[in-house]
Amino acid sequence: MKNTFGNSLTVTLFGESHGEAIGAVLDGLAAGIEIDGKSVSDALAKRRPSLSTDTARKEKDEYRIISGVYGGKTTGSPLCVVIPNTDVKSGDYAEFSHIARPSHADYTAFVKYGGYNDHRGGGHFSGRITAALVAAGAIVSSALGKTGIKTGTHILSVAGVKDREFSDVAADVGELQKKAFPVLSDVENEMTEKILAAKKDGDSVGGILQTAVVGVPAGIGEPWFDSVESVLSHALFSIGGIKGVEFGAGFKFAEMRGSEANDPFFAESGKIYTKTNNNGGINGGITNGMPIIFNCAVKPTPSIAKRQETVDFKICENAEIEVTGRHDPAIIRRAAAAVDAVTAIAVADLLTVRYGTDVLKRGIPV
């Protein structure tokens, strides 16, 4: 089981949904980076269930950094953050040790690990683990912010209700930092109604998240296998509910002509920009200095209260299941925090590959 992402800056995840604790280890952070505890708490609050559209499981997410920090600054050794699990109801999952919940990892994990995996609450495959990822990402994001790089994610659509796309990207990213329900226009109530309607029906909904990264200089990334798209996609698909990623115009490119798709360059005040940003700030796998823009498709929460067909995989017989327990009718609001986290980690890793591991401390060379 490989649980580490990154080349120069790495993050390793550990723990299970109903175990004693979950956590993350950041390795490759330079010594002397100031830890902003409030930014970590704020990021965890965005991921934590708190609205009527969220699960009833109420974890406090009181994190502890147990290594890699002294006097409020990184030491250069691996930084380990731990979050205790305090609100578990393992009895809700007794039958899932052998009955596969559709679209969950129950069956695939059983096959891969021979039944030794902890299935309770999804175990190591649970969205609960993203709390540790968000904590680690917030530490990195705070350091990135001091270099001028900021990340923001909003709900572009859910259950047919659409938010506007990014326009004044830097201002929009700044505005999203203040919002518990991350949208750019006045659609929160309409989205909430759609989510609660699915919940009332014992069902769930998915949607699309749109992310922007501003302040990334041109020249970051590698051609081919470590392109910016490749590295970000690798990180984003680690989030269990993400089933599709597109950059810039994405699949709309298939319907365009080259004259529509190309982003014309222009120079202004000694800097180079593009007039449009269909390529999402990336050419040839390398950043061009424009905002990095991408969308993520988030699937409907697979745990629903409707009766479904499945199998008992221990005896290989057909069965039915009606999932009980505490589940989100839509994970998309909380998934936004996880997307911001992995984006920050991936971008920071790309920066350290380009400029060295101390770039988050000394800043990006001009």
pLDDT at 96: 67
**What is the share, in percent, of the chain residues with pLDDT greater than 90?**
78
Cα separation, 72 vs 38, in Å, equals 12
In the CATH scheme, what is the code of domain 4-362?
Answer: 3.60.150.10
- In sequence order, what are the beta bridge partners of 79? 26
Confidence band, pLDDT 50/70/90 cuts, at residue 181: very high
DSSP string for residues in 313-341: TTTTEEEEEE--S---S--HHHHHHHHHH
In the block, tokens 């296998």 appear at 225
The token pair at 4 is 């580490």
pLDDT score at 2: 82
Phi and psi at residue 155, to the nearest 5°: -80, 110
Residues 320-326 have a mean pLDDT of 79
In this prediction, residue 1 carries a pLDDT of 63
Q: How many percent of the chain have pLDDT more than 70?
A: 93
Please state the rounded mean pLDDT for residues 167-172: 97
Instruction: List pLDDT tens digits, range 48-67.
Output: 876 666 665 566 788 999 99
More confident position, 209 or 327: 209
- Note the pLDDT of residue 58: 64
- Residue 50 has a pLDDT of 65
The pLDDT assigned to 169 comes to 98
For the chain, how many residues are written? 366
Q: Where are the domains of the chain?
A: 4-362
For position 325, what pLDDT does the model report?
A: 66
Confidence of residue 125 (pLDDT cuts 50, 70, 90): confident
pLDDT tens for 12-39 read 999 998 888 999 999 999 999 999 999 9
pLDDT by residue (tens digit) across 240-268? 999 999 999 999 999 999 999 999 999 99
Asked if residue 334 lies in contact with residue 328, where contact means CB atoms within 8 angstroms, the answer is yes
pLDDT at 177: 92
The set of residues, in sequence order, having a beta carbon less than 8 Å from that of 85 and lying 6+ positions away, is 15, 17, 18, 19, 20, 21, 22, 59, 128
pLDDT of 119:
83
pLDDT band at 271 (very low <50, low <70, confident <90, very high): very high
Amino acid 260: pLDDT: 98
Please tell me the predicted confidence (pLDDT) of residue 86: 85
**Residue 354 contacts residue 7 (beta carbons within 8 Å):** no
Per-residue pLDDT at 54: 61
Q: Which one-letter DSSP state was computed for residue 77?
A: S
